[in-house]
Amino acid sequence: MKRSQIHSAFERGEGILQFKPCWIPRPFNQPGRRLKLHPDDYFALGLKRGAIVERWFSSITRVITANSPEDEGLSYVNTDNTEQGKILFGEVIEELGAALIGDELYAEYGSWPMFAKFFDYQLPLFHHVHHGAEAAALVGMNAKPEHYYFPLQYNNHLGDFPLTYFGIDPSVSRQEVMDCLKNFNHFDTQITNLSRAYRLQLGTGWYTPPMVLHAPGSLLTYEPQWNSDVLSVWENVVAGEVMPERLLTGCIPEDKRQDTDFIFDLIDWEKNICSDFRARYFRPPVICSEDTAHKETWVCYGNEYIGAKELTIYPGQEYVSKDQAAYGCIVTQGYGAFGAYQCEAANMLRYDQFSADEYFVSEEAAKRGVKIVNRTKYEPLVILKHFGPNCGMPNMV
């Protein structure tokens, strides 16, 4: 039954799949309330699970949080607009294989290697690090390179702290950072005193490689990233909220959880203290094509893992969008047609509602070209596209 549903949906969509929204609660911080979710639904999963503060796209990565169900974080393909007709994206990939994600990605990874998300916090996040490949492998996970972009359409307010701390100031000693780790359970270590903050700019972004400390600011952020939820939280008090030790050591082998030297080695010291951090990792948009009907920019680029574009179709215009690789996408403004589908940006969704704003385009369909029509009179139709490493993103920094 599932096989026929999958193939039928794939054929009807002419190589494009539609998703059901994937909402994620977290038991910390406060919701920024910019996810276009109904105001009554931010605690739809109960107070113990926390508020819904993230939405994940084209994901086969499970969320690591206490008491989460087995499918939390996993995207569902919408085959027929019914609960019975939703099928895990991972199962769809298993069935369609290279016909969906292309020969190169299927041969290299055996599946779709990345996903994207919106994260939406009113307060800044904790100073934390994502493991490199070696440390992540010790707990059965992948390294986690990630890219940030701050879309205008989802940032009607900037939250309480629209600045991000990155790395460690070059004047800081290793011992000062070690002391923060050793005192994680004793007092507020104020580790961000040892870092440096950058004011965030809408319509721009940053690349954050694995092993670099960062404390994201309070803008709603579009984050394409590698398939992983691995992290170690090094800041123990954030905006008055105390972080439990499990956030520091939960993704560390049990026999290393009291080993401060091991935890310290999760970071790449030289990358964290580099004096040209902004020049290396800040990412302004780069135009890749433009005419009277459209404008498309690279918004995530300059790394070997993940890329993303922002495509704008002007009011009343249409455009055939061609790419060299499969991609997931989310409509952030306007309505019209996306290939065989009617598409529309969300204004306000209920927690368990289907939507017409999220899709996945197979490699063949991407190469053939997706006809996109803006049926609005005044507003642009805006789409964010997230890719794996074979999308031909520029290497410029």
Q: Structure tokens of 338?
A: 């996306």
Domain coordinates in residue numbering, the chain? 121-215+230-284, 286-387
What secondary structure letter does DSSP report for 60? B
Residue 119, SS3? strand
Contact 70, 237 (CB under 8 A): no
Class of domain 286-387 (CATH, top level): mainly beta
pLDDT in the model for residue 236: 98
Please name which of 302, 325, 305, 329 lies closest in space to residue 386, comparing C-alpha atoms.
329
Q: Structure tokens of 369?
A: 């070209």
Residue linked to tokens 């993704």: 251
> 213-243 b/e with 16+ CB inside 10 Å = b?
bbbbbbbbbbbbbbbbbbbbbbbbebeeeeb
The number of residues making up the chain comes to 397
Tally of CA atoms within 13 A in the half-sphere of 387 that contains its CB: 25
Contact 116, 381 (CB under 8 A): no
SS (H, E, C) 158-177: CCCCCEEEECCCCCCCHHHH
For the chain, 397 residues long, give each residue's pLDDT as a single digit of tens: 799 999 999 999 999 999 999 999 999 999 999 999 999 999 999 999 999 999 999 999 999 777 889 999 999 999 999 999 999 999 999 999 999 999 999 999 999 999 999 999 999 999 999 999 999 999 999 999 999 999 999 999 999 999 999 999 999 999 999 999 999 999 999 999 999 999 999 999 999 999 999 999 999 999 999 999 999 999 999 999 999 999 999 999 999 999 999 999 999 999 999 999 999 999 999 999 999 999 999 999 999 999 999 999 999 999 999 999 999 999 999 999 999 999 999 999 999 999 999 999 999 999 999 999 999 999 999 999 999 999 998 875 5
pLDDT in the model for residue 386: 98
